[in-house]
Structures are given as structure tokens and as C-alpha cells.
Copies of this chain bind each other. A is one copy, B any other.
Amino acid sequence: MQRYFVSEDQLNGSIVTITGDDVKHIARVMRMQEGEEIIVSNNAGRTVLAKLKKLSESDIQAEVLEELDPKTELPIKVTVAQGLPKGDKLELITQKGTELGVSCFQPFQASRSIVKWDMKKAKKKVERLEKIAKEAAEQSYREIIPTIKEAASFTQLLETIESYTHTIVAYEESAKTGEASNLHNVLNQVKSGDSVLIVIGPEGGLTEEEVSALEGKGAVLCGLGPRIIRTETAPLYVMAAISYHLELMR
């Protein structure tokens, strides 16, 4: 069944009001009619089954049939701090990361990031990633749309570390020297409700200075297996490992 996110004021009691692009999607792309059913989330913990009541060009009214409890969120909140990668990799990371349960994407300007975050285009860039996150959240039946933050400096990123329960750094050099237990150790300690920050370097990796600074704040350096995986593959590996450990190893 098709799923849509609305804002909190659009899911009011037993009435859902759908506006914007989703109107087009329901009426034109899906060619749905009055009486057909959709799933609606308000991105704040409420998900309902609703029946389409009145379709117009500008908005669609639907009636709540049933309160749902999809239970599709990870038991922890994961923020992916990604050193700005080249090209459209941030889009792939946002789409796949959303499917895999990321709560927040925090790009950051790493020393070896070749791309610079263009402040003039920042708003558009964030909006584009938000759209990708929304669509992926709908497709994967998430209860929330992950947050997309504007790129932080490395110093700003460092300052946020203390607000997380655990910080994991995906570190290629750890993998090369055979480090192969830290990720598992951290995941063994994680408790429901914890917040976890995953820091991933850009294509050229994190510098030694960046790694030392992160370690100084209590971050744990983790190898992700013996193969060298690309910067955009690393967050997907960690998210799959988190899901496997917390959701399937029961």
C-alpha cells in the first residue's frame, strides 16, 4: 500500500489533508480514486490507515480508518556524519541510509574532502536530500523522515560528540591492521534509546589529526572487515550491521 508523510497539522483527529506533490502522486501517478486506502504518517509517531474521501487539484481529504503501529524504527537513533564525498554520492547515502534506518545525516567538511560545501547552494542541496529522504522513508515504511543537516566544519562536528551515547569512526587503517572487534564491542554495549554517531571519512579518508581528535572525544575506531570499501559503502555496511545486531540477532 502507498505511504505518505504529512505534517502534524495535516493529520488532525480523524481527518487527513494531503497537499503539494503528494496530491499529484496520488491522483496522477497512482491514479487512485475515492474509497481507496493509503497509509499516512505525521513524522511524529502517529501512523494511520486512511480512506480517500475527496480528491481535488489542490488537496485530498482522507478519513482515518485505523491507528497503525508499524514498529519499523531501529531501537537507537543513528546519525551518519559523512565527510563530504564527490559527485552525487550523498544522494545514494541518503536514499540507502534512510532505508536502513538512519535518523539524521550530518555531512561535514573533512580535510581531504575534495568537494566544498557551497553555502549559496546549501539550501537547495539540503532540500534535494530531504526530498530523497522523504521518498525513501515512504518506500521503506519508516515512521519518521530522517533529518538532513547542513554541512558542519570538523570542529563543529567534534563539539557535538558529547551529545551522543556512542561515537563510532569507520577507519580504514584499523581495518588494514586487522582491527576486527570494536564495532561488535560497541554494539554489544548499545541500549534501546541510545544515540549513536557514525563518522565516515571522504574518499581520501580521515587524516591522522582528525582521527586523534575524534579519539580524544571518546570515539571508537572500527574496522569494517578486511576489504577496502568506498566512502559511500561504509555507512551502509555499518547500518546493516546495526540492524543485524539489534533486530535480527535475537
A binding-site residues for B, Cβ under 8 Å: 70-72, 96, 99-101, 139-142, 180-181, 183-184, 223-230, 233, 236-237, 240-241, 243-245, 247-250
Which B-chain residue is minimally distant from A232 (CB atoms)? Answer: B96
Contact B248 A223 (CB under 8 A): yes
Which B-chain residue is minimally distant from A188 (CB atoms)? Answer: B249
- Please state the number of chain copies in the assembly: 2
CB-defined contacts of A247 to chain B, threshold 8 Å: 180, 225-226
Which B-chain residue is minimally distant from A249 (CB atoms)? Answer: B184
Contact B100 A229 (CB under 8 A): yes
CB-defined contacts of A101 to chain B, threshold 8 Å: 225, 227
Q: How far is the CA of A101 from the CA of B228 in the complex (A)?
A: 10
Contact A72 B139 (CB under 8 A): no
Q: How far is the CA of A96 from the CA of B139 in the complex (A)?
A: 21
Given contacts A227-B140, A247-B225, A248-B241, contact A233 B99 (CB under 8 A): yes
Q: How far is the CA of A49 from the CA of B234 in the complex (A)?
A: 27
Q: How far is the CA of A146 from the CA of B181 in the complex (A)?
A: 27
One of B139, B181, B225, B249 near A243 (C-beta < 8 A): B225
Q: How far is the CA of A73 from the CA of B86 in the complex (A)?
A: 28
Q: How far is the CA of A63 from the CA of B247 in the complex (A)?
A: 50
CB-defined contacts of A244 to chain B, threshold 8 Å: 183-184, 225, 237, 240-241, 244-245
